[in-house]
Structure 1
Amino acid sequence: MADKRRFDLFARFLVERFPAPRIFDIAGGQGRLNEALTKLGRTVTTFDLRHKHLPVRFAERAFTLDEPCEAELLVGMHPDGATRIIIEYAAIHRLPFAVVPCCSDNSMPYNPWMRHLAALARERGFTTVEEQALPMEGRARVILGEFSGG
């Protein structure tokens, strides 16, 4: 069962770690992370295919590499198959990213998937790639990447 505090915990982590005022929340479901980040003073756009969502800034579509860059940070809380695109987009636009993966998009077991994502970020030029843990139950490992000076 998912920890009900996960959105607030991740939002606090993001605000403490990154000064980014504008955030793209990729595969954000109903927009709960958006809601938590907005309460902390951030401007967030959630991208997801859901038509039912909270009253937050919401783009009802899949996120692609062609999306105009109007953010300083990309995030994903259990973004399923969108995890890789978060890293790819962030690398193209030299933005930091932070994701809490829950499962791979290719049936890879969790620990190898986490190692694969870290390697992908390094391959794409991120100078800092690290892992942190949120104090919650379930999939709580955050992988993040930043470029020097960011």
Structure 2
Amino acid sequence: MADKRRFDLFAQFLTERFPAPRIYDIAGGQGRLNEALSRLGRTVTTFDLRHKHLPVRYEQRMFTLEEPCECDLLVGMHPDGATRIIIEYAAKHRLPFAVVPCCSDNSMPYNPWRRYLADLARELGFPHVEEQELPMEGRSRVVLGDFSPR
């Protein structure tokens, strides 16, 4: 069972970690992370294919590398098959990213998948890649990358 606090916990983590005012939420489902981040003063656009969603800024389409860059941060809460494109897009536009991966798009087990994502970010030029833990049940490791010096 998924932790019902996951969106609020991730939103709090993101706002404490990144000063980014404009955020792309990739494969954001109904838009619950968007809703949580919006309550914290961020402008968020969720990209997903769902027809039913919350009344938030929502683009009902698949996110691609060709998307115009109008954000300061890319995020994904259990974005499934969109996890890799978040990192690739962030690298292309030199933006920070934060993802809470769950399952891979290639049947890779969870821990190797997380390591693969961190390695991918490094290969794409992110000088700062790390993992953090959210205080929640279930898949709670955040993989994040940033170009800013720490």
2:3 is aligned to: 3
Q: Deviations over 1:69-113 (max 9, x none)?
A: 000000000000000000000000000000000110000000000
User: How far did 1:148 drift?
Assistant: 3.3
The amino acid of 2:86's aligned partner reads: I
The TM-score, its normalising length taken from structure 2, stands at 0.99
CA RMSD of aligned residues (A): 0.8
Q: Distance in 1 between matches of 2:99 and 2:115?
A: 13
Q: Distance in 1 between matches of 2:24 and 2:3?
A: 22
**Identical positions, percent:** 83
The amino acid of 1:15's aligned partner reads: T
Within-5 A mapping of 1:1-150: 1-149=1-149
User: How far did 1:13 drift?
Assistant: 0.1
The amino acid of 1:61's aligned partner reads: R
**Poorly superposed stretches of 4+, deviation over 6 Å:** none
* Structure 2 residues without counterparts, runs of 5 or longer: none
User: How far did 1:149 drift?
Assistant: 3.9
Q: Deviations over 1:14-62 (max 9, x none)?
A: 0000000000000000000000000000000000000100000000000
Aligned length: 150
Q: Distance in 1 between matches of 2:58 and 2:32?
A: 11
